[in-house]
Amino acid sequence: MREITYVEAAREALMQKMQDDPSVFLIGEDLGVYGGAFGVTAGLIQQFGEERVIDTPISEAGIAGACIGAALTGFRPVGEIQFMDFVTLSMEQLVLQAAKIRFMFGGKAKVPFVLRMPAGSGTGAAAQHSESLESWFVHIPGLKVVMPSTPYDVKGLLIASIEDDNPVIFVEHKLLYKVKGPVPEEMYRLPLGKSNIVRQGKDVTIVATSIMVQRAIQAAEKLHEEGIEVEIVDPRTLRPLDDEPIFESVKKTGKVLIVHEAVKMGGIGSEIAARIAESSAFDYLEAPIRRLGGLDIPIPYNRNLEYHAVPQVENIIEEVHDLVRLRV
């Protein structure tokens, strides 16, 4: 199978859905001639024209509001927030409108749109351009939250998200855009709410999201050389969360580490840890549930400080070493 980058896979998903469905259009800042802040929409305005690749003024509230209005009238918009940090300006539209309209109208109205947003640190973009805010949206009934970790996943999940009849928050990590992987040329879908067992193992379970899946894989390869076999579970969608594969993995290994880039306090790791503790998997634990998340600080501009503000491969290895030694 051919290998392409994460950014190419995302662009191909958008292109194929726009070819397949005339109700799909793109809207956001600098999507057209500029091709998006990270190049995801490059060339699409030449292919589909200005009526389907719409450049907006600098107004995140306007982008979200336009997506909601268009979705209510039969379109399937794909909006882009240039950096996830700026989705804070769209919260009224997303939380009070998009998430609740279908419920309040008894299912007679639906709001099918996707809001894409690059998240995370690692590019030296400092505190206001490096947020990981996915847990904000996980807390809101009515929204779906998707975090692909590979080129294969980003294409299949983006196509499925565009076809979904609910508003979807689609989180893409900036450092993943250049990652290469096998991706089929044809259009395909990965179901929302289906976790993926990335790697089989018997000693420790790592539940990781987004860029942390890639770092967990690197850590697992090094730990394998020491005779420690790590199983990696990628939820892929945080809402709905498919927790059964996580429980089954924990029952097999007896030890679990949950890794995400977002600040540890209130992160998705808290929810996953609570679900494990409330499930039958709890009885199989041989050590306390461990969480590894970002430090409780804004992301620094200084590259060395930025590096140490979020989990890295060596931090994952250190946590696994501690877990292997622990017993309840």
Q: Residue 325 class from Cβ within 10 Å (0-12 exposed, 13-18 middle, 19+ buried)?
A: exposed
Beta-strand ranges (E) seen in the chain are 3-5, 24-28, 53-55, 76-80, 114-119, 144-146, 168-173, 180-182, 196-199, 204-208, 230-234, 237-239, 256-263, 290-294
DSSP 3-state percent helix, strand, coil across the chain (nearest 5): 40, 20, 40
260 is catalytic: no
Give the chain's largest Cα–Cα span.
61
Q: 129, 139, 224, 308: which one is catalytic?
A: 129
Strand, coil or helix: 325: helix
Question: Is the distance from CB of 53 to CB of 31 less than 8 angstroms?
Answer: yes
Catalytic residue annotation:
129
